Structure 1
């Protein structure tokens, strides 16, 4: 499973507490500069931010950060664990028991107070994008939209084990349960929508924008669900707590990327409009 669009939003209730376990020696900024390489952890299957064997927003952002610091990039794609606590332990402050990690910095970490309190071994900072759940519909099959009741009896695609699936299946005591079609990823569901096999899809705004790219046949709308945070979630960076100098350098680099407009261009390359926190 991957982040945010799947179990990652559940950090508000499901992040596991991490014990204070001693960690191996870390690479501070001076050591990183001497080595000449910035190691960046990204999820290996989270389109449009990263993709196995491909490209993505976070992959391009990692390259831009390494360049700002005058370093070569070493990408460390990894599969998501059961929760964000696992991912931060494996990729930021300790390393995986299989022998890979930790990286110098991890991208697309929720800037969330609960997660920060649960993982005192890391610093989470530099928020760079706000994402949220949206409904996109086929205008031809659903010409009028007045909230979720307009989708009753229509085929609605969602990603398995996702916040979208959870809220839709439970909405109004399961009113839409028979209308829901489950797909491996939100992107898969959106491709089925494009092919005319669905009437709508509930997915992250970034996924919708990256797949449909302003296709006039479809309209994206905000929808309200009782169990869905309307403000969405914020993505940022994470480093080991004792890597304050690295965090400062990366924070400065992120500011420069925003100021120059390069961050907007990175997102636009994948059809996504950046929403700055």
Structure 2
């Protein structure tokens, strides 16, 4: 059907070019298509170290390394599909996994089909989120399957040991400034918890890297972010003043969560094949080594923890 629409568009005036573009289907691929093509397109977030970023034109990051091993496990080449975050995760899934953005930034050729990732990394592996419904009762993410949990993430505080003796409790940030990424969960938490007692000393930055740099310059005494980001920054800085807090986060809600991948719901066979590769990486200990290579602590996803504990 879409071929007929395209043919009609081609016969129309040049002013209808936009309609032709909208008529084109987004490219998502079955398992056999991926294998036959000789490559797999892995969805990775742009400029998001230590997970994925470009360095001297080369992809780097823990998700890049996992993506390369997924490709090797399937016997195909690794191809990054870079994702620029939209307003929320539902938009990212729609634009990069199952539908495509109407303005495809990665391919500006006339009549080029929208490009999609075959799989997308760093997606919450959470049943409640996967089956979340909108105001009409429809499942928001019904077009995607979330699978293959490969890491458990949590929040972490790092602090300047010359300014603070320890961070056993967040109460110290009633008196000491702490940096956070603006509009993040740590931002909302530190500005609202305990009747807002830490609000005055919460400083906002565009990302955790900027907050960490501010701590090293003495603008703040601590930072709060995702553990892998904090671990990577501490490892990269090699600054003997920086310590890791061992505090909890009372009344914060979800303090740890599993991360996995997403695939369009009609391409489950590809998801099963990718999940088998990732499962082997985890069970063989290779996944933990990949994280260690970036100076990161690795924590098994919940399902694997239950198996290890004998449930």
Same-fold call, TM > 0.5? yes
2:266 corresponding residue in structure 1: 242
Q: CA deviation at 1:24?
A: 4.8
1:275 to 299, 302, 310: 299
SS in 2 for 1:88: helix
1:34 corresponding residue in structure 2: 36
Cα distance in 1 between the residues matched to 2:48 and 2:36: 32
SS in 2 for 1:31: helix
1:266 corresponding residue in structure 2: 290
List per-residue Cα deviations over 1:186-206 (Å, max 9, x = no partner).
122122223433211111111
2:176 corresponding residue in structure 1: 154
User: Aligned in 2, Cα 1:270/1:195: closer, same or farther, shift over 3 Å?
Assistant: farther
> Please, which runs of 5 or more residues in structure 1 have no aligned partner?
1-22
1:97 corresponding residue in structure 2: 102
Q: CA deviation at 1:138?
A: 1.8
Cα distance in 1 between the residues matched to 2:126 and 2:271: 17
Deviates more, 1:58-67 or 1:208-217: 208-217
List per-residue Cα deviations over 1:195-239 (Å, max 9, x = no partner).
433211111111111111386531222321423313x12110111
Query: Could you tell me the TM-score, scaled by structure 1's length?
Result: 0.86
- Contact 2:170–2:247 (CA under 8 A) maintained in structure 1: no
Q: CA deviation at 1:97?
A: 1.1
Is 1:81 aligned to 2:86, yes or no? yes
List per-residue Cα deviations over 1:162-199 (Å, max 9, x = no partner).
11111101122221112111111112212222343321
Q: CA deviation at 1:52?
A: 4.2
1:6 corresponding residue in structure 2: none
SS in 1 for 2:223: strand
1:62 corresponding residue in structure 2: 67
Tell which structure's C-alpha radius of gyration is larger: 2
* Bigger RCO of structures 1 and 2 (CA < 8 A, at least 6 apart): 1
User: Aligned in 2, Cα 1:131/1:138: closer, same or farther, shift over 3 Å?
Assistant: same
Query: Could you tell me the TM-score, scaled by structure 2's length?
Result: 0.77
1:115 corresponding residue in structure 2: 129
How many correspondences in the alignment? 255
Cα distance in 1 between the residues matched to 2:73 and 2:90: 29
Q: CA deviation at 1:110?
A: 0.4
Q: CA deviation at 1:49?
A: 0.4
1:10 corresponding residue in structure 2: none
Cα distance in 2 between the residues matched to 1:265 and 1:142: 32
SS in 2 for 1:239: strand
1:226 to 238, 244, 251: 251
Q: CA deviation at 1:263?
A: 1.2
- Contact 1:142–1:151 (CA under 8 A) maintained in structure 2: no
2:120 corresponding residue in structure 1: 106
Q: CA deviation at 1:127?
A: 0.4
Cα distance in 2 between the residues matched to 1:269 and 1:195: 27
SS in 2 for 1:114: helix
Aligned alpha-carbon RMSD (Å): 2.0
Question: In proportion to residue count, which structure has more helix?
Answer: 2
